[in-house]
A and B are shown apart, each in its own frame.
With several copies, the nearest count.
Chain A
Amino acid sequence: MAKLIRDFKVLNNTKITQDYFILELVSPEKLQNLMPGQFVQVRIDGSRETFLRRPFSVHDLDYDKNSIKILVQIAGKGTEKMSKLLPGEILNIIYPLGRPFSEPNKGENILLVGGGSGVAPLLFLAKHIKQLEINPDILLGFKSQQRIIETEEFEKYGRVFITTDDGSAGREGLVTEHPLLLKGKYDRIYCCGPEAMMKAVVSLAKSRNIFCEVSLEHLMACGIGICLCCIVKTTRGNICTCTEGPVINANELLW
């Protein structure tokens, strides 16, 4: 799929918690095909603190409206600015980028595991899996009840299980302590979240011999394979997470 640079228009900017918002962005033309796990590179103009583009996973999309949604956590200067975008404003985007999650086979048991802004790519993935007539289990970890995001959306596509660090909602503890992960019978686990969480999930999956893919959020300068800054060490050597990821098979990682 050819990569495009396009001026998308902000359709709406929805605050969901103190830290998170969702931008719906409309393509100036027919939206290119996008797969779950792929991302876009957003240009945040005009600041010395946001010189480079910023990568965001596709959270959802609508081919009829030619729009994509990105779920953004306010992490610094760039995301702070994006949080203030108004409907009608322009956001320049390069897309589609990266390799998507691999397709599950019909009839497989699927578990999605997410935490923090890592839930972003999983909604699109859950929706996609549902279209394959699979009801995935979705395990989401948050700090506390106030930090819970998007679970209602996820419920459309599968059974949702929650953990919170403080037990204020769902099960107390980390996702990696959840029985689903420890004992659940799954053919595939797809995971995105903080690196520590992904490492724990990968090690569990490996030990239980379950196919597992994680989506890495490595620092990126270009997003299109020309800077070699976003590498991760794998069994195949250093690979660029922007072109050969962000989705990587657990068995390839040297974690």
Chain B
Amino acid sequence: MVNLSFKIGNLSFKNPVITASGTCGYGIELEDFISLEKLGGIIVKGMTLKPREGNPYPRMVETPSGMLNSVGLQNNGIEYFEKHIYPRLTGLDTNVMINVNGSTIEEYVELAERISHLEKIPAIELNISCPNVKMGGMAFGTNPVTAREVIKSVRKVYSRILIVKLSPNVTSIEEFAKIAEDEGADAISLVNTLLGMAIDVKKMKPSLATITGGLSGPAIKPVAVRMVWQAAKTVKIPVIGIGGIMNEIDALEFIMAGATAIQVGTALFIDPSVPCKIITGIEQFLVERGFEDYSLLIGYINKNF
């Protein structure tokens, strides 16, 4: 058997396939399609301290090989999660992680602190890259000063595994990767969505109520792979690759570029069972090519060219 397990800090993952925040609900919604325990991990939908209504409808539009969304972090807040969702997830033999959001540094910190008391949540993903909120999110993650500040502040109160999710809407992804590493992140994940927009030409108006939204899906994969490659060459902490992964070939592309793990997002909308197919597919590739450990493929193109 080939080895698919890996670690971030002291946290073990059974395989490198994780479902991406905002695209897998609380995980529970996928249970009809896959056994969640097969996954390397689940990152539940973007959470905030207080419940958020999110942005007005329409919130999505299909684009060539992708989609734009402007959900805007609709969620019921941490309290609802603690009461209604957390109890249903604690028994799961996989890493359930929370995507942490705030409009101010204080909110980020308060939420991270509160999550640190949830025993069965071994890691958080600090989202400083949501393009769909007016305050916080991408505004933090595209400015080196505020990015550093929010990571530093959260790191102070959160001692478990801290993953920082980076925005692709920056001139230099290396700069932000380095900041995350410097401030003590255990891993970085990238990319969040690219800021995009679409107009319904027939109706002569913007397709989204918020005009702009976040672009995801295969369309962004070449940009995401490039950024993962750049980031992985810059930092020593693990990089989690995200962006347009539809199958095991896409997943392996990120891994060969330098990703230690990958997240599946938009693909879940088309085939909610796809994470398991990806795990099997990676396994098969390793067997066919005679690799005993998938980690031999991490950054393969750097080692060999």
* Closest-CB distance, A104 to chain B (whole angstroms): 29
A227 lies within 8 A of B23 (CB): yes
Determine if A3 and B23 form an interchain contact, defined as CB atoms under 8 angstroms apart. no
Question: Which residues 65-124 of B sit at the A interface, judged by CB distance below 8 A?
Answer: 65-67, 69, 71, 74
Which of B25, B64, B71 is close to A225, meaning CB atoms less than 8 Å apart? B25
Size class of the B contact interface (CB-based, 8 Å)? 35 or more
Question: Interface segment, A21-29, A47-55, A160-168?
Answer: A47-55
Interface residue A184 (Cβ < 8 Å from any Cβ of B): no
B33 beta carbon closer than 8 Å to chain A: yes
For the complex formed, measure the closest distance between the CB of B234 and the CB atoms of chain A, giving whole angstroms. Answer: 30
Which residues from A are CB-within-8-Å of B218?
48, 51
Answer yes or no: A148 CB below 8 A from chain B CBs.
no
A189 within 8 A of partner (CB): no
Q: Which of B35-82 contact A (CB under 8 A)?
A: 45, 53-54, 56-67, 69, 71, 74
Q: A227-B23, A228-B74 are in contact. Are A221 and B269 (CB under 8 A)?
A: yes
Stretch at the interface among B7-15, B176-184, B252-260, B270-278: B270-278
Contact flag A51-B65 (CB < 8 Å), given A224-B272, A226-B24: yes
Q: Is B157 an interface residue (CB 8 A)?
A: no
- The answer on a CB contact under 8 Å between A232 and B269 is no
- A111: Cβ under 8 A from any B Cβ: no
Q: Which residue of A lies closest to B65 (CB)?
A: A48
Q: Kindly provide the distance from the CB of A200 to the nearest chain B CB, expressed in whole angstroms.
A: 20
Decide if B59 touches A228 in the complex (CB within 8 Å): yes
Report if A5 contacts B (CB, 8 A).
yes
* Other-chain contact of B71, A3, A52, A227, A237 (Cβ < 8 Å): A227
Min distance, Cβ A125 to any Cβ of chain B, angstroms = 25
- B207-225 interface code vs A (CB 8 A; 1 in, 0 out): 0000000000110000000
The residues of A that contact B56 with a CB separation of less than 8 Å are 233
Known: A48-B64, A52-B67, A226-B23. A231 touches B271 (CB 8 A): no
Among B30, B45, B272, max chain A CB count under 10 A is at B272
A2 to B53, Cβ gap below 8 A?
Answer: no
B69 touches A227 (CB 8 A): yes
Known: A48-B218, A219-B58. A5 touches B272 (CB 8 A): yes
List residues 210-254 of chain A with CB under 8 A from any CB of chain B: 218-219, 221-233, 237-238
Q: Check A5 against B33 for contact (C-beta < 8 Å).
A: yes
A69 within 8 A of B: no
Residues of A within 8 A of B288 (CB): none
A35 to B218, CA, bound (A): 35
What residue of chain B has the Cβ atom nearest to residue A226's Cβ? B25
Cα A142 to Cα B92 with chains together (Å): 52
- What sequence of 0s and 1s flags, for each residue 13-53 of chain A, a beta carbon within 8 Å of any chain B beta carbon? 00000000000000000000000000000010000111111
Interface residues of B in 233-285 (CB under 8 A from A): 266, 268-273
| Chain A positions within 8 Å of B63 at CB level | 51
Do the beta carbons of B65 and A238 come within 8 Å of each other?
Answer: no
Q: Which residue in A43, A224, A231 is a CB contact (below 8 Å) of B29?
A: A224
Which residues on the A side are within 8 Å of B59 (C-beta)? Answer: 219, 228-229, 231
Determine if A218 and B71 form an interchain contact, defined as CB atoms under 8 angstroms apart.
no
A238 touches B269 (CB 8 A): no
Given contacts A3-B32, A227-B23, contact A51 B71 (CB under 8 A): no
Q: Which residues, 1 to 33 on B, are CB-close (under 8 Å) to A? A: 22-25, 29-30, 32-33
Residue of B nearest to A220 (CB): B60
Known: A51-B270, A238-B54. A219 touches B74 (CB 8 A): no
Q: Please, which residues of chain A bring their CB within 8 A of the CB of B270?
A: 43, 51-53
**Once the chains are docked, how many angstroms separate the CA of A43 from the CA of B267?**
12
Residues on A with beta carbons closer than 8 Å to the beta carbon of B67? 51-52, 221
Contact of B57 among A5, A50, A221, A232 (CB under 8 A): A232
Taking the nearest CB of chain B, how far is it from the CB of A41, in angstroms?
A: 9
In the docked arrangement, what's the CA distance between A218 and B57, Å? 9
Contact digits for A61-104, partner B, Cβ 8 Å, 1 yes 0 no: 00000000000000000000000000000000010000000000
Which one of B64, B66, B268 contacts A222 once the chains associate, using CB atoms below 8 Å? B268
Is A51 within 8 A of B29, CB to CB?
A: no
Tell me, in angstroms, the Cα distance from A230 to B33 when the chains sit together.
20
Q: How far is it, in angstroms, between the C-alpha of A232 and the C-alpha of B217 when the chains are bound?
A: 24
Q: Please tell me if the beta carbons of A228 and B45 are within 8 angstroms of each other in the complex.
A: yes
**In chain B, what residue has the closest Cβ to A241?**
B57
Query: Cβ of B71 and Cβ of A228 under 8 Å apart?
Result: yes
Q: When the two chains form their complex, are residues B25 and A229 in contact, meaning their CB atoms are under 8 A apart?
A: no
Closest to A53 in B: B270
| Residues on B with beta carbons closer than 8 Å to the beta carbon of A43 | 270-271
A3 partner residues in chain B, CB cutoff 8 A:
32-33
CB of A92, distance to nearest CB on chain B (Å): 8
Minimum CB–CB distance for A138 against chain B, Å:
30
A/B interface sample: 7 pairs, CB < 8 A: A5-B33, A5-B273, A49-B64, A52-B62, A218-B58, A226-B268, A232-B57
Q: A51-B65, A224-B272, A231-B54 are in contact. List 8 more A-B contacts (CB 8 A).
A: A5-B273, A52-B62, A53-B269, A53-B270, A218-B57, A225-B29, A228-B54, A230-B57
